[in-house]
Structure 1
Amino acid sequence: MYDVIIIGAGVSGSAVAREVSRYNVSACVLEKCEDVCEGTSKANSAIVHAGFDAEEGSLMAKLNVEGNEMMDQLSRDLDIPFKRNGSLVVCVHKEEIDGLKTLYDRGVKNGVKGLKILTREEALEMEPNLSDDVEGALYAPTGGIVCPFELNIAMAENANMNGVEFRFNTEVEDIKKGEDGLFHIRTNNGEYISKVVVNAAGVYADKIHNMVSADKMHIIERRGDYLLLDKEVGNYVSHTIFPQPTKYGKGVLVTPTVHGNLLVGPTAIDLENKEGNNTTAAGLNEVTAKASENVKNLPLRNVITSFAGLRAHLERHEFVIEEVKDAKGFIDVAGIESPGLTASPAIGKMVGDMLKDMMGLTEKSDWIATRKGIKSTEGLSIDEMNALIKENPAYGTIVCRCESITEGEILDAIHRPLGARSLDGVKRRTRAGMGRCQAGFCSPRTMEIINRELGLSYEKITKSGGKSNIILERTKGEESHS
């Protein structure tokens, strides 16, 4: 029994959970996967959008700009990497140059600061590797890059520190509003009861909404394919490079990441499959072809992995954040596609304010606004590294050679609030396995640490929860044990 139950532990659900944790209220997050950040939030462009693309006057535009402005303080409070590297929308067709002015005017009306239309020469001076066909560009200095995993995990950890409970591997199967006026939520792990429900279920938000409302919702799963390039070419561009947008979105971008890689993508392929996040040869070929229209001689021989993510697209291309008319006390946070990552802190605040007014909530006197991230050894001097190893010898053992991740960092990832229990859980928190060899060398050692620290048998350790077991059974040696 809770006052508030949030369905979904992605970036929107975790942002709402953090805001709810400010108040004297019992709250719980139900997540069908084994960890936070398992859906749309784990596979996206990692961009903090400036806000010039969304339609003027839309909720999407409002929350984009608000979320962008919140990101500096949030990154300091939650100890996560964030950089305002700026973005360029590139025009490569002379007949389309007026489209930059359209975006500029929309951005000004949306409240985006510092926008400037650049000449061909100004754009090439800023980014020498732009296409030779560039005619001009729209420059947005407030654009930025962030780590989506760390943002999501940090907000969830901070919420948990402030009393919000998280229930993983808990899939919602049905919701009924009882005669007692409460929501009875049936899951694969028993029944939960709540006064208020917040639906932040990503591509499954329509399924959850349709359990309680006669006014049905339909989400289109829009797949985006990406290529990730090695840090060796991470500075090929310094800004986020966009093409001019189409009705399918902002197009295939090329951007540095906060951790020094180069990211290229996504496509925009509509599906009817909520688990269809597999890449295809056609999709990846489209990524390379379209990216090459705006950035020349892309160093594609340095690709270290490809991946795909799903966006929760609604036909009207607008966020839906509202109380459902025929299910009072049920709040949808649906259709959260790009710029959802940027808007997430503002989405959390909006829903938190709605709940405060709806339920008459009072703020805690001891709410903790900050959270300390995992201690990274990157950039430490020899003296600093020696001091850290003296304090904790585990920092003297390198587990992931590609990213120079130590055993100390992995131990922290496992034992901190909402700690990792899978290889991907460790990877998202520490980057162990994200480097050039893509976990080829560090996985066995990471499994040893998980086995030792959590008491999980090797057969029960998974890549990403569910049935993604790495080892199926022992073929020799001592018998299996739990």
Structure 2
Amino acid sequence: MYDVAIIGAGVIGASVFRELTKYNLKVVVIEKENDVSMGTSKANSAIVHAGYDPKKGSLMAEYNVLGNEMFESLCKELSVPFERNGSLIIGFNEEDMKTIEELYNNGKNNGVKGLRILSKEEVLEKEPNLEDNIVGALYAPTGAIVGPFEYTIALMENGKDNGGEVKLSSEVVDIKKDENFKIKLSNGSTIESRYLINAAGVFADKIHNMVCEESYKILPRKGQYFVMDKSQGDVVSHTVFQCPSKLGKGILITPTVHGNLLVGPDAIDIEEREDFSTSMEGLEKIREIASRTTKAVNYRESIRNFSGLRATSDRNDFIVEEAKDVKGFVDVAGIKSPGLSSAPAIALGVIDILKNSGLNLEVNHNFNPIREQVHFMDLSKEEKEKIIRKDPRYGRIICRCENITEGEIVDSLKRSFGNMSIDGIKRRCRPGMGRCQGGFCGPRVQEIISRELNKDITSITLDKGNSYILTGKTK
């Protein structure tokens, strides 16, 4: 019997999971995929928004501003890359500048610190590669960038280290409620829990409807991106937005915490909840719109395209509430942008809901907030020499594009959950994230996984499902 079960191992489920392990509770995360951070949390803009956009009084506004303030210290505790690079919302005409003034006033009302409206000259001084026809911009110095899947994985690892449990490859197929929740999984087993958190992303309404009366619908919205090589990483230093529309915050251009450049996303409402395809037409449209911001991006240096799904709902706000008809069932749904930015604060909100619902929160005095991960290339020369003397595997470079060592890969495997894939290691410590996209280091990573986990090399997959790479020897 668990005190709390959480469905979904994205950034929301992971944030709630870690927060709950601060108390003496038996907590489990249930995830249908073979790894954590496999949905929206691995495919997004990697931005911590300042909070000027959400409407005053909304949950989005409240959680965004508070979550932004929490991120820096959390990333330090969890050894996750984070940079407060600031954001710019640029305007091309007087109508845009009126929108920017509205965003400025809304942001001030939301409690966003340091907002300023800049002149054309001030903007171009900050970002000389922007187009000359801009009129001005809103500057938000608290805007930031983060490694989103690294952050989610770190939350999960720290929660697990503090006594939480994780069940992967465990799709929820049915939920019954009597005194407690009985959660039936695809493998035929049943988990029983006193409280249940629904953090299932684009599937949240389906989970809700298994045990509650229908009260909202999730409408998937797809966004496509370009990932540019590090040769393009200094085209801009801030996250640069065009003025937002009713479909979202629009096409942005932003550096990443690892020195790449990200361009996108578009916004396409779809019905299929697992459609991660990209299209030539969509990507060309992104290029066309982004060229209004700057023509300095060399798209021949694109190393990857991807798409992510946003869990928009038929309500115009986040859904963070206990179901009216089923006590102990908490929905955390419709968490579109600024969901990543809001995640730490949403977790605190869920704790309050559980407390008000009767969950006893006795502090876990053994909780350790620190999760350590070695980022070898960030170390000083002396620190590198010291760690190599202790473990020579840190002296062997496996991924030459990203300078990732064998020691980092082995360390990630020791902390990992269950059967690890090549892309699972890629998300944890970046081998294969560079220009060649794993063309050279992929086989070596596969060998290391096989060796460290004592598994047949043909059983190691690229990512989820049956994405096998090797089937057997040819000679």
TM-score, with structure 1 as normaliser:
0.96
In 2, the alpha carbon distance for the partners of 1:331 and 1:383 equals 49
Q: Take 2:47 and 2:133, find their aligned partners in 1: how far apart are those partners?
A: 25
Deviates more, 1:323-332 or 1:417-426: 417-426
What letter matches 2:147 in structure 1?
Answer: C
Residue in 2 that maps onto 1:77: 77
The answer to whether the Cα contact below 8 Å between 2:404 and 2:430 also exists between their aligned partners in 1 is yes
Aligned residue number for residue 118 of structure 2? 118
Letter in 1 for 2:53: D
Amino acid at match of 1:366: N
Partner of 1:182: 180
- Is the 2:232–2:297 Cα contact (8 Å) retained in structure 1? no
Counterpart residue type for residue 435 of structure 2: R
2:321: which partner in 1? 322
Q: Structure 2 CA distance, aligned partners of 1:431 and 1:93?
A: 41
Query: In the alignment, is the contact (CA less than 8 A) between 2:47 and 2:146 conserved in 1?
Result: yes
Tell me how far apart the structure 2 counterparts of residues 216 and 469 of structure 1 sit (CA, whole Å). 40
User: Aligned partner of 1:218: which letter?
Assistant: K
Task: Give the Cα–Cα distance (whole angstroms) in 2 for the partners of residues 26 and 316 of structure 1.
Answer: 33
* Superposition pairs of residues 162-311 of structure 1, within 5 angstroms: 162-178=162-178, 181-189=179-187, 190-311=189-310
Which range moved further: 395-404 or 378-387?
378-387
Q: Which moved more, 1:286-295 or 1:434-443?
A: 286-295
Secondary structure, counterpart of 1:378 in structure 2: helix
Match of 2:45, as an amino acid?
A: S
Partner Cα separation in structure 2 for residue 226 and residue 476 of structure 1:
38
Q: 2:107 is aligned with what amino acid?
A: G
C-alpha separation between the residues in 1 aligned to 2:468 and 2:324? Answer: 43
Quote the residue 1:63 is aligned against. 63
| 2:5 match: secondary structure | strand
Q: Contact 1:356/1:362 (CA < 8 Å) preserved in 2?
A: no
Q: Distance in 2 between matches of 1:344 and 1:350?
A: 10
**Helix, strand or coil: the match of 1:97?**
helix
Equivalent residues of 2:328, 2:354 under 8 A apart: no
1:26 matched to 2:38: no
Q: Please report the RMSD computed on the Cα atoms of aligned residues, expressed in angstroms.
A: 1.3
Q: Deviations over 1:70-104 (max 9, x none)?
A: 01211121121111100000001233321110000
Which whole-Å CA distance do the structure 1 matches of 2:213 and 2:171 have between them?
A: 22
Counterpart residue type for residue 251 of structure 1: G
Find the aligned partners of 1:464 and 1:139 in 2 and give their Cα distance: 39
Shift, 1:408, TM fit: 0.4
Aligned to 2:50: 50
Identity of aligned residues (%): 52
Q: Which residue of 1 aligns with 2:465?
A: 466
SS of the residue 1:13 aligns to: helix
CA distance in structure 2 between the partners assigned to 1:366 and 1:378 by the alignment: 32
* 1:183 partner amino acid: F
Q: Report SS of the residue matched to 2:57.
A: coil
Aligned to 2:386: 387
- Distance in 2 (CA, whole Å) between partners of 1:158 and 1:327 is 30
Please list every run of 5 or more consecutive structure 2 residues that lacks an aligned counterpart in the other structure: none
Match of residue 133 from structure 2: 133
Task: Measure how far apart 1:382 and its partner are.
Answer: 4.0
- Paired position in structure 1 for 2:152: 152
Which whole-Å CA distance do the structure 2 matches of 1:287 and 1:419 have between them? 38
8 Å CA contact 1:172, 1:186 repeated in 2: yes
> How far apart in 1 are the matches of 2:117 and 2:55?
19
State the 1:386 CA deviation: 2.7
Which piece of structure 1 moves more, 413-422 or 71-80? 413-422
1:140-181 C-alpha deviation (Å, 9 max, x unpaired): 000000000111011111111111100000000011113xx1
Letter in 2 for 1:399: I
Amino acid in structure 2 at the alignment position of 1:288: R
1:340 Cα shift? 0.5
8 A Cα contact 1:414 1:420, kept in partner: no
**Are the equivalent residues in 2 in contact too, given 1:243–1:251 (CA < 8 A)?**
yes
How far apart, in 1, do the equivalents of 2:278 and 2:146 lie? 23
Instruction: Give the counterpart letter for 1:199 in structure 2.
Output: N
Amino acid of the residue matched to residue 6 of structure 2? I
Secondary structure, counterpart of 2:190 in structure 1: strand
CA distance in 2, matches of 1:30, 1:427: 22
Residue 420 of structure 1 and its aligned partner are, at CA, apart by: 6.8
Q: Residue 317 of structure 1: CA displacement?
A: 2.9
- 2:216/2:314 contact within 8 Å kept: no
Deviations along 1:28-64, one digit per CA (max 9) or x if unpaired, are 0000011110000000000000000111110001000
Shift, 1:462, TM fit? 0.9
Q: CA deviation at 1:224?
A: 0.5
Alpha-carbon distance in 2 for matches of 1:388, 1:217: 52
Q: Secondary structure of 1:354's partner?
A: helix
Q: 1:52 to 1:125 in 2, by over 3 A?
A: same
Structure 1 residue 475: Cα displacement:
4.4
1:11 aligns with 2:11: yes
Residue type matched to 2:262 in 1? L
Q: CA deviation at 1:361?
A: 1.8
Q: Secondary structure at the match of 2:376?
A: coil
SS at match of 2:365: coil
Q: Deviations over 1:446-472 (max 9, x none)?
A: 01011111122222111112111112x
CA displacement at 1:396 relative to structure 2: 1.4
Find the aligned partners of 1:344 and 1:108 in 2 and give their Cα distance.
21
Aligned equivalents of 1:394 and 1:116: distance in 2? 48
- Within the alignment, does 1:439 sit opposite 2:438 as a pair? yes
Q: Secondary structure at the match of 1:210?
A: helix
- Distance in 2, matches of 1:420 and 1:235, equals 37
* Deviations, residues 323-376 of structure 1 (Å, cap 9, x unaligned): 011111100000011100010111111112222332122111211122112x11
Where in structure 1 do 4 or more consecutive aligned residues deviate above 6 Å?
Answer: none
Q: Distance in 2 between matches of 1:236 and 1:3?
A: 49
| Aligned mates of 1:141, 1:120 — CA distance in 2 | 17
* Letter of the 1:280 counterpart: S
